[in-house]
Structure 1
């Protein structure tokens, strides 16, 4: 058995594919690598809210507006 497959099973085993497309575009031109993490399932099966959890490379470039 391949131990890598055992330790890191495919995401499709946990999260069924979505049947609709969702716009994830964030209009923050100063941030080069920002992601909306909404819609992903957590380990306990709860789905994160859209535009509530964001990850980015460097938030100090984000302006006040």
Structure 2
């Protein structure tokens, strides 16, 4: 999960990229838990997975990094 969140944070990846295909199960879990999204605004979606605020907090908790 850390790799998925890190990639979404540092370099959002396309929904049909090789990375997305190779990690489809973990990406599905991360999206279901609200850690990543393709939503940019109400009714507006991109083709890239991006980290959410909840995902960022979870990433910091998993890695032990301080986000302050």
Question: What TM-score, normalized by structure 1, do the two folds share?
Answer: 0.26
- Higher share in helix: 2
Work out which of the two has the higher radius of gyration on C-alpha atoms and give 1 or 2. Answer: 1
Q: TM-score, normalised by structure 2?
A: 0.25
Q: Taking CA–CA contacts closer than 8 Å with sequence separation of 6 or more, which of the two structures ends up with the larger relative contact order?
A: 2
